[in-house]
Amino acid sequence: MPCEAVVVAARRTPIATRSRGLASARLEDLAAPVIRAALTDAATAVGRAVRPVDVVLGNCMGPGGNPARVSALAAGLGVEVPGATVDRQCGSGLAAVLDACAAVRAGDGGARVAGGAESASTAPVRSVDGVPYSRAPFVPVGWPDPDMLQAADDLARARGIGRERQEAHALRSHRRARAAREAGRLAGEIVPVAGLDADDVNGRVEAVLPRLAPLILGGTVTAGTATRISDGAAAVVVVPREDADGAPGLLLRGQAIVGCDPRLPGIGAAPAVIAALGNAGADLSRIAAFEIVEAFAAQSLAVLERIGLADDDPRVCADGGALALGHPWGASGAVSVVRLFSRLVRGGAPAGTLGVAAASVGGGMGVAVVLEVVR
């Protein structure tokens, strides 16, 4: 019989727009503090020191050299703690959490730190034959490989999601994030880094949204309905349930990683959520909280529509999503788990409450997880 995997601690850095508040922090400078903070929280939760047997982190853009191992050493975990880095693009952080849970469920013993980190500000410039490029291809030659902006605009057109609806969704995300920040609901999950102790939230969106020009000629996506490229990191501690000693946490109930048409990669979270719910034996009505990475308003709306949720469902990104907070690619999926931990575990939800975290992935994929509160 497989072990059960429980997330007993979850922390993240503030999220800052590229070249702003965290611009001077290297990737390990972001990851190490949240690893240490999550392990401290885990020790408090279970009543004893928690010594991880591995660190698994998602990362998309480098610097290479196995950032998870570098971050583990920077966190002071000792040379005997290894590390593995996962690249599933925008789903990397969530995929890393699932990999850690899988190892625990397989009976591989011991606690694991999992999450993601991205320093877009310090990511290396890549080139082929001296020609710089921003990302590697997501598909082989001959396949459609739109950049994410074009893909979001194409998805908006395919699903009939107009600019006004996108702006309403982006504004809702910003208002929720501002309200959560003012109420102090984000503070308990954030580890200050490089002098920054709160997210870099744009306070002027409401005023400028209608005035922004489309980013693609003839399109509907604007800078206000697209997330910002960001720096940030997140980490959780996963332990076998029998080692949790009754500590409150999030139990893995179901998961799914799926593929979809690479021409419209933004829809990938929808079939992943549907499959994860099926694997968990749950339906939408049972889910108390959704955290779905908002790369673009059009993409987020298309996912909600496909799942069967209303644009303004209060369960979805209740404290604001990536449209407001930012999108540190390799960390964002792990940030979603941290957000669920805050909303459900720190928020006092009763045992048995379910939450969903999900992300769409460049190249045409989706990843999702169903988590259950245990106490």
**Token pair in block for residue 249:** 């946490």
Regarding beta strands 5-12 and 230-240, do their DSSP bridges make them parallel or antiparallel, or are they unpaired?
antiparallel
Nearest to 347 by CA among 306, 355, 116: 355
| β-sheet bridge partners, residue 374 | 249
Out of 90, 101, 260, 317, the active site residue is 90
**Token pair in block for residue 201:** 């939230």
Out of 101, 169, 260, 327, the active site residue is 327
Regarding beta strands 16-17 and 230-240, do their DSSP bridges make them parallel or antiparallel, or are they unpaired?
antiparallel
Q: Is 327 one of the annotated active-site residues of the chain?
A: yes
Q: Helix 148-159 and helix 297-307: axis angle, to 10°?
A: 50
**CA–CA dist 278, 258 (Å, integer):** 13
Nearest to 220 by CA among 147, 168, 298, 159: 298
Q: Is 90 one of the annotated active-site residues of the chain?
A: yes
Residue type, 7: V
Specify whether the CB–CB gap between 93 and 331 falls below 8 A: yes
Active site residues per annotation: 90, 327
